[in-house]
Structure 1
Amino acid sequence: MGRATLVDMVADEILRRVIDGELAEGAVLPSEADIGAQLDVSRLTVREALKELRAKNVLNAVRGRGTFVNPVSEWTSLEAVLRSMSAGGTAAQVSVQLLEVRRMIEVGAAELAASRRSDADLERLRHHLDHMVDAHAAEDVERFVAADIAFHDVILRASGNLMVPALYEPLGKLLSQGRRETSAVPDIQEHAIQMHRNVLTALESGSPEDARRAMNEHMDQTLGDLQRFVLDRA
């Protein structure tokens, strides 16, 4: 990834102020000159940063009135929405909504992968599943999480649709954090291993219907374990 430009950094700082509530929903932003003075950058840099945020629908410029903060529900940047959810939502709300998005993407990806996966893909899935089993036995949460993520990444790519892993990528950081929390529970690891075995068996069979069903059951298991072992005990 390339180094962030000054415009990117200014846009990020303005977004941070929006997410932290310093610039509330519906609020009008200070002038470009005032923002430039606050951040010690040129007015042109501020103008370009505001343009980036308008493109994401975080901000809305009204001729003759100024630039306003849009409601989060109108934002079109997944990264910005995730940042807002992480900062303002409850842990339960964020976890459940992330799982809902996972279900929508991964169930379809598994269905596609069943008829498109290669023998090499299946071998990689077996490899990652073996690592999950070994990590569980060794009580190594970090290694378990890494193998879990790698297993699912193989399926996303085996779907044969280049848009699928690209759509999933912005979720990566938050999903990793959530998996570390749930995977710290040994019972959840055991359930996850069995579900991954079921998904692998379905993909080996080449049946899109079986793969879709197995991944959907895995999402059900993940949601049930999240509620039982994590959210209900919070």
Structure 2
Amino acid sequence: MGISLAMKEAGDAGDMARFLDLDIRFHALVLSGSGNEMFANLVGQVTETLTGRTVHGLMPEHPQKQALQWHMDVAHAIDAGDGSLARDAAAKIMRQTIAELAPSWNDQPRVFVPVAKN
């Protein structure tokens, strides 16, 4: 839980270099601690994605308070052993991230074309 609180403090202060370092560490701990080898092997890709968002100006100057809260919710749920709550909070983070980044993908070639839901 200490990393998520430190992330919130760094994000609130606008210390994006520290925030990025903590965000990478947070996701590495969650992925590698999942007990799922596939998730553990995503640490490098997630690190590159988080770094790229920061380097290419795709992160806000201050992380959104709701996103920071969801990270803390993930940590609290994991600490409490509540996998369902952790999954729900992580899904909120992912939905928000996808929504924020989707416009930058509009003109990019796609491997898989999204299927419209009825």
Instruction: Give the alignment's TM-score, normalised by structure 2.
Output: 0.69
Change (3 A) 1:161 1:145: same
Considering only CA atoms, is the larger Rg found in Structure 1 or Structure 2?
1
| Paired position in structure 2 for 1:137 | 12
* TM-fit CA distance, 1:174: 3.8
Report whether the alignment pairs 1:185 with 2:61. Answer: yes
The total of aligned residue pairs comes to: 103
* TM-fit CA distance, 1:129: 1.4
Report whether the alignment pairs 1:201 with 2:76. Answer: yes
**Paired AA for residue 160 in structure 1:** G
**Paired AA for residue 144 in structure 1:** F
**Which has the larger share of helix?**
1
Instruction: Give the alignment's TM-score, normalised by structure 1.
Output: 0.38
**Paired AA for residue 152 in structure 1:** H
Deviations 1:172-230 (A, max 9, x none): 324311145333332x4323211112212221331222221111111112223445xx8
Q: Which residue, out of 224, 228, 233, partners 2:99?
A: 224
Structure 2 CA distance for aligned equivalents of residues 215 and 174 of structure 1:
16
Matches within 5 A, 1:95-114: none
Secondary structure of 2:88's match?
helix
Secondary structure of 1:182's match?
coil
Q: Which residue, out of 75, 84, 88, partners 1:213?
A: 88
Structure 1 CA distance for aligned equivalents of residues 84 and 90 of structure 2:
10
Gaps of 5+ in 1: 1-125
Q: Which range moves more in the overlay, 202-211 or 142-151? A: 202-211
Structure 2 CA distance for aligned equivalents of residues 161 and 223 of structure 1:
23
Report whether the alignment pairs 1:156 with 2:35. Answer: no
Secondary structure of 2:64's match?
helix
Change (3 A) 1:167 1:145: closer
Q: Percent identity?
A: 30
